[in-house]
Structure 1
Amino acid sequence: MKNSFSILVALLGISVQAQVQPFIQKEEIIRIETELASDKMEGRAIFSPGIDSASVFIEKEFKKINLSYFKDLKNYRQEFDVKGQKANNVIGILPGKSKSEEFVIFSAHFDHLGFAKNGGDKIYNGANDDASGTTAVIALAKYFKELNQNERTIIFVAFTGEEEGGFGSKFFSENMNPDSVVAMFNIEMIGTDSKWGKNSAYITGFEKSDFGTILKKNLKGSNFNFNPDPYPTQQLFYRSDNARLAAQGVPAHTISTSKMDNELTYHKVNDDIKSIDFDNMIEIIKSIAISSQTIIKAIDTPTRVEKLKPRK
């Protein structure tokens, strides 16, 4: 009886453990992405009612996950002025267990281009650019909250104003000590296949630190691959929200699949929910979750990049 009972307990333990392991739910990815890219968000242009609606939605998602507030904020909004107008990032954190003063950032921008001036469809929905990245940040927040294994503090941030010059990431970076930031995973346009097809993405500035090498090591044996940026002449490392912290020496890189030489929806009104490959997008989010874990658990620390001047 004792052996049988032990076997039963072991089997039940495996079953319970399997049930509590977090996973990325397709239904949730579709729900979040669809809401952020909906017409009622009016293209999420900075300073618009649409971007405020998007901010409120992201804040509600962070609250459901039960993220903590960033620094001395009283809510999830990091507010600031841009030329006399109000703007805000949305930030939530998971405090680290043993190295709470070391930060790992997961970010994306939630603004887009608003309304087109001409044509029938006048809304730049920005499903790929960058509702896809923002959806990933929310999904990863939920994943790591449930996993509950982060030794370092994780910061989840949705930036505003990327399309107008990186206002949100500029303000955020100016209020961070770069020496405390171990790594930044900036997620930009992951809703379409990369130039290599499915189960692949690229990392901007791959050669500037061993960030990408760590991620590839953690995915060894899987069918997913992170590649160096295939569009070096476009200077993508300097063109997204990672650039501000990278300029200060942080291994801050952007993960993307966008075919920048031939992305048919880039900054166009047809960048809507119909353009998103959800199955592939989910695999990318899963791969970010898995490949980042030795960094958030303080097993790996990426090398610093040479201090850079961000592109204006």
Structure 2
Amino acid sequence: MFKRIIILFSITVAIFLVLITASYIIHQIRLSKEDKLFTPTGKMVEVNGHQMHVYVEGNGEETLVFMSGGGTSSPVLDFKSLYSLLSDKYKIAVVEKAGYGFSDITDSEPNIDTILQETREALLKSGVEGPYILAPPSRVFKVIQKHNGEIANVFLRRAREAVFVFNQNIAEDSVLIGIVNNLGLDGEKIVKEAELPIGQQLLTEDFALASQLGVRGFPTIIMLNEENKGVKIVGSRTLDSYTSGLKQVLNLDELQPKQQPALFSLLEKEKLLFSKEIEVMYDIEQKDINRFVESELSAIVYDTKQILGEAYFINK
């Protein structure tokens, strides 16, 4: 009797194993067939040893770049309902960062500098040259700039922080409204105004000015003096290049740098500073950052947080 039970149990286990093996084989065969259906709709380019997907459509002179934050598994598909309405007038570029859409998953830590560098390199390698319009935040920026140029510059910083640091989707109205509200403006009113023809008109005027000034590469820095004479510096250059440009524009043999602001006053102005910014501004090493911040910010209340492997400090 016991032997029969053992035999029946063995047969049951064997059948169970055969079924599992058969299911696994069938699953792998179907996955292989499905992989052939999931082909990139855009161009795959190698960046930092891995493949990134950049989708491009449209033949307009102005390039709209769509970038996603977190929770957007396939930016090319998620943004399609919007960019398909714009591709008759603009060139559209959708960049899928590492781990999203058809782009490779990587083991490297997605810090701020890496995400920005890889996005720019992917665009250039896919044949998409600047200048770029980051849509729709660019229109929101122009509307804010029309009302208050200083706040517009702060908006640019907050928008970059949102997408590159906090992984938010700045193509969504709710995210843009939140950013603008935090600047002390009416976010809903500004975003709605940016969607009106005036938003596009302001952008078009910018592109006309860029064309008039001969802007062809990214980045392009143009320095002008009071006589409307100046120099144009194209591409990533060393600090010496910009220093020489300033000397030429100002007609000076030597430049007198401004005194560095105290860290507490800088944090009060910017509201948020990253460790790397403080290291560069005050010429200190990363290992000394905490001691430096503690000594310089002893008079104010602040928070220290971590994101993407980097510390940042918030004025409370």
TM-score by length of 2: 0.23
Return the structure number with greater relative CO, CA threshold 8 A, min gap 6: 1
Greater helix proportion: 2
TM-score by length of 1: 0.24
Structure with bigger gyration radius: 2
